[in-house]
Amino acid sequence: MTDVSNQQLQHQTVLLEEAVHALVWRADGIYVDGTFGRGGHSRAVLGKLGDGARLVGFDKDPQAIATAQAIGDARFEIVHDSFATLSDALAERGIQKVSGVLLDLGVSSPQFDDPARGFSFRHDGPLDMRMDTTRGESAADWLARATQQELTEVIRDYGEERFAFQIAKAIVARRSASDRLGPLTRTRELAEIVAHAVKTREKGKDPATRTFQAIRIFINQELADLQVALEAALASLEQGGRLVVISFHSLEDRIVKRFMQSQASVPPLDRRLPLRASELPVPPLKLLGRVMPSETEIAANPRARSAVMRVAERVAP
């Protein structure tokens, strides 16, 4: 049980008005909120929809599911699963096409600020880091079994940490002392191990930032799920449908940017081919732009600083 107050665990939805404005282009459509969180985007979307519309939300977090189930709106349904299951979930509900898909990536403030979830090095808590606490392997379980090479690769690739080898070596060394010290199960101890292994760090950034990010991404398979979800979203969008994605770090944004750009262009054609204009291939997506938080929003919510929203429209079947 945690003594963190409800006020501390409030979530400020980033780019709320901008995302909903970009997403909802027809009031009678079917929409997907791939990351319900605490429902900021979903509630705003429902406020824009007519009586015959539908909104399907997804989330892995049981606490988010509990919040979603309290929404008394017949147009809304929540799915307790990753947005990577979008295709199957829509098919199970008889939905062939949707008017828009919104993905707000990363960790919500309630998840990050609750020590019991283990996402943050700023609070001491169990090394869990699972977005869905009802299934899967915790960070502590993985740290107890991963090889030094696996630790190095995860911390390097998902955290872009140049001291990944040194950190992995220190974690393995700590593990060898488990008979005397007990297993590594607390966030604060992991943060201290990383701090001792990292030689230098950017001013104002905690040494553990990249390592905690890397382990969280790996435990929840965030990047793999994102790639699957982007493909599923594209396949499910009707003509004119919108894909709106908000990311908070470079690895996510790079995947989103490359996916949208690849789907908004066609391979070069052989100029010798006798093709009419009507026969030229049309890319499935049109890029509608990139949106960053305003200085006013960043001042009110510093966690919005790293957010990037990318928007694309389905233009061809």
What is the tens place of the pLDDT at every residue in 205-221?
889 999 999 999 999 99
- Taken in order 258, 263, 267, 269, the sign of the CA dihedral is negative
Measured CA distances, 77 to 32, 49, 63, 93 (Å): 10, 14, 16, 10
Who wins on pLDDT, 290 or 204?
A: 290
What are the binding residues? Answer: 39-41, 59, 83, 104, 111
Identity at 290, one-letter amino acid code: R
Q: Which residues of 242-271 are buried (b: 16+ CB within 10 A; e: fewer)?
A: bbbbbbbbebbbebbbebbeebbeeeeeee
One-letter amino acid for residue 84 of the chain: A
pLDDT of residue 68: 96
- Tens of pLDDT, residue by residue over 268-296, are 655 666 665 555 568 999 999 999 999 99
CA–CA gap between residue 245 and residue 230 (Å, rounded): 9
Residue located via tokens 């553990």: 208
Which candidate, 102, 103, 120, places its Cα nearest to that of 111? 120
Instruction: Specify binding-site residues for S-adenosyl-L-methionine.
Output: 39-41, 59, 83, 104, 111
Domains and CATH numbers, the chain: 16-104+222-314 (3.40.50.150), 120-220 (1.10.150.170)
The vertex-64 CA angle with 59 and 67, nearest 5°, equals: 130
Residue 9 binned pLDDT confidence (cut-offs 50, 70, 90): very low
- Supply the pLDDT for residue 5: 37
226-263 pLDDT per residue, tens: 999 999 999 999 999 999 999 999 999 999 999 999 99
Token pair listed for 256: 């989103």
